[in-house]
Amino acid sequence: MQHSLKWILSASCVAVLSGCASTTADSNIEPQQFINDAEQDMAVTVEKAGRAEWIYSNFITEDTAALASEAGQMYTEKAVHYASAAARIDTSTLTPAERRKLDILKRALTLPAPTDPDKSQRMAQLGTELNGLYGKGRFCLSEDKCLSQPQLSSIMASSRDPEQLKQVWQGWREIAKPMRPLFEEQVALANEGAQSLGYDNVGELWRSKYDMPAEQFPQQLDGLWNEVKPLYEALHCYVRGELNAEYGNDVVPLNSPIPAHLLGNMWAQQWGDIYPVVAPANMPGPGYDLTQLLAEHNYDEKKMVQQAEAFFTSMGFEPLPQTFWERSLFVEPQDRDVVCHASAWDLDNEDDIRIKMCIRKNGEDFKVIHHELGHNIYQRAYKNQPFLFKDSANDGFHEAIGDVISLSITPDYLQQIGLIEQVPSAESDIGLLLRQALDKVAFLPFGLMIDQWRWKVFSGEITPENYNQAWWDLRQQYQGVMAPVERSEADFDPGAKYHVPGSVPYTRYFLAHILQFQFYQALCEEAGNTGPIHRCSIYNSKEAGAKLNTMLEMGLSQPWPQALAAVTGSEQMSGQALLNYFAPLQQWLDQQNQAANRQCGW
C-alpha cells in the first residue's frame, strides 16, 4: 500500500489556516501565479504533515495523536482552500498542463473537511481516533495472551481448527465496534466538505479522479468485473468443494456462500494460505515452500528487504538511499503500539522514501516487501515532476507496479537468487497457478465491493441503521462468502479492515489486479520471454526496466490511458491479460468442477 500523504492524509488530518488566506480566488487572480503558490505551499505542508503522521503511526500515544491531528488539519484546510479557489478560476487561457494541475487541486482530498474551522478540527480528531483504534487493537485469547492483528493473522493463515478460527475471526472484529459512531460522524462531515467543493457526496469526488466523468467510472468497473467473473466463479466453486471435503457439510455447506473464517485470511480477501487444504492430491504442487526456503537460507527481515531491492537494481534502477535503511520500520516493536499495516512512504517528495511494515519471515511477506518497494521506486521515479504531478497515473497504477514485481517471484527467479536449485517441471504449473489464483483471482470481488459499500454510504443509500447488514449483503453478492457467526448492527465489521478507518479508497486495488497483468504481459514481451507468461520473470531485464521507468517518470502529468499505452501500447484497461495468464488453470478448474458434478454459484 502506498501512503501518499498528498492525497490520503486528509482522513486523519488537519491548525488554523495561516499561510494561504490571502490567496483568494477571484476574477483578478493570475492563474499561473496561483498554481505556483499552491504547489510551493502544499509541498511544504505535505512534508510537515507526513512527518507528523509517520511519528504517530510508529509511536501511538495521546501526544503524537494530537501532533498528527494538528499537522493534518493544516494540510486539509489548505487543500480545501486551494480546491475551492481552483474551482472558480477561468481556465480558458491556460495550457493543458495548467488545466490538469487545477483539476488535480480540485479533487486532491480524500475526505474534504467542511470550511467551518471547528468542524475541520473535529474531522482531524476523528481520523486520528479511528486510526488509533485500529493500530492499538488487540484480541486476548487469554488473560496473559493479547495479540495484535499480524499475530492474529498468522493464526488465521495456519490453523485448521474451525472453532479456533471462528474465535480469532470474531475477536478481531470486537476492536471495530467503538469505531461505528466515529465513522458515521466522519461521513457526515466529509460529505459536507465535498458538497462545498461542488460534489454531491464523497463517493462522487472519489469517482472523479480517473480522467473520465464520474458517472462513467462505475460502468468501466462493471465491464472489467464481468470480463473476469467466470474465472472467479470457477475458482470459488472448486475451493468450496475442497473445503467441504475437508470440514464436512455442517461447516461448509455446498451451494452456499463460503464461511469467511476458513479461507486463510482475516478478511477472506486472499486465500493463498489454504493452498495445502485445496491442492489436488494427485498433482505435483509448486515443489517448494517459500517460507521454509527463507528460513533455510537464514533470511531475516532486513535480508528480505535487501533481496527485494536487488530485484529492482537488476532491472537498472538505482539502489535505495541509505536513509531508507536508517528510517524504515521492518520489525514490530515490543515496547509500543504501531500501525503494522504495510505501507510505503515518500516523506519529502524527493529521496526520503521508506517502508513501515511489521515483517513476518514468511513467503507472503517476502512478496509484500517486493510490492512495497515498487511504490518507493515509483515515488522516486517521478520526483522531478512538478509537485502536483508527483503521483501515479491513477491510484490503481501505484498498486499495480508493486504487484508486477510480485508476479515475477517465479521459480525461475527463486533459482536465480539461490533459493531453489531446480525450476519445477511444467507438470507443477497447475499447482503454481492455483496458488497464485488463490491470492490474485480471489481478491478481485473483495477489491471491488469495499468502495461499492462506501459509495452507497456516502450517497445515503446505505444508512447507519444497516451498515453491517449491507456490508454482508455485498460480500455475499460479490464474493460468495458469509459471516461464520451471526452479526448485527451492534457490530461494525467494515472497521476491522484497515482501509475503512484509515479512509483509504479501495477501488485502486481492484484496478491494480487488472492492470498488473497488462503491465506484466507487456514487460515480459519486452524482456524477450517466449514461454508461458506465468513462468516469466522480468528479473535482470534492463530492457523491461527501461520501458517501465519511462512510464513511472511520467507520474500524474498525463491522463492514465497515455501512461498505460507507454508500457502496453493500448489505452484501454482490460482483463484479457489476466485471463491469458490463468487460461490453463481455468480450463483445469472447469474440468474438476464438472467431474465432481459441483453446482456452482451461491
Is position 261 annotated as part of the catalytic site? no
Exposed / middle / buried, residue 597 (Cβ in 10 Å: 0-12, 13-18, 19+): exposed
Please check whether residue 84 is in contact with residue 23, taking contact to mean a CB–CB distance below 8 angstroms: no
Q: How far apart are CA 20 and CA 105, in angstroms?
A: 14
Q: Is 370 a catalytic residue?
A: no
Catalytic residue among 3, 261, 370, 375: 375
Helices assigned H by DSSP within 178-328: 179-196, 202-207, 217-247, 275-278, 290-296, 301-314, 322-327
List 275, 509, 520, 539, catalytic entry: 509
CB count, 10 Å around CB of 495? 25
Is-catalytic flag, 375?
Answer: yes
User: Of these residues, 3, 81, 261, 341, which one is catalytic?
Assistant: 341
| Of 261, 309, 372, 563, catalytic | 372
Residue of 28, 17, 16, 54 whose CA lies nearest to 348: 54
Query: Quick one: cell of 255?
Result: 451451494
**CB contact at 8 A, 451 and 505:** yes
Q: Which one, of 193, 150, 187, 220, lies nearest residue 498 by Cα? A: 150
Round to whole Å and give the CA distance between 385 and 302: 31
Helices and strands (H, E) in the chain, number of each type = 24, 7
- Dig out the grid coordinates for 230 from the structure: 467466470
Catalytic option among 370, 399, 437, 498:
399
Sheet (strand 343-346) strand order:
2-3, 343-346, 353-356
CB 468 within 8 A of CB 219: no
β-pairing verdict for 258-259 and 353-356: unpaired
297 included as an active-site residue: no
Among 521, 552, 285, 540, CA closest to 407: 521
- C-alpha 37/C-alpha 88 separation (Å) is 16
Instruction: Please tell me the distance from the alpha carbon of residue 573 to that of residue 455, in angstroms, as a whole number.
Output: 22
279 catalytic? Reply is no
**Which residue in 38, 342, 381, 496 is the catalytic one?**
342
* H or E segment and range at residue 49: helix 31-58
Long-range own/partner contacts, residues 88-93 (CB < 8 A, 24 or more apart): 88/25, 88/26, 89/25, 89/29, 89/31, 89/34, 90/27, 90/31, 91/31, 93/31
Q: What are phi and psi of 20, to 5 degrees?
A: -120, 10
Question: How far out from the chain centre does Cα 545 lie?
Answer: 23
Residue 437 to residue 109: CA distance in whole angstroms: 34
Task: Tell me if residue 139 falls in helix, strand or coil.
Answer: strand
Q: Which ranges constitute the DSSP H helices of 460-596?
A: 467-479, 507-526, 542-554, 560-568, 576-581, 583-595
Active site residues: 341-342, 371-372, 375, 399, 499, 509
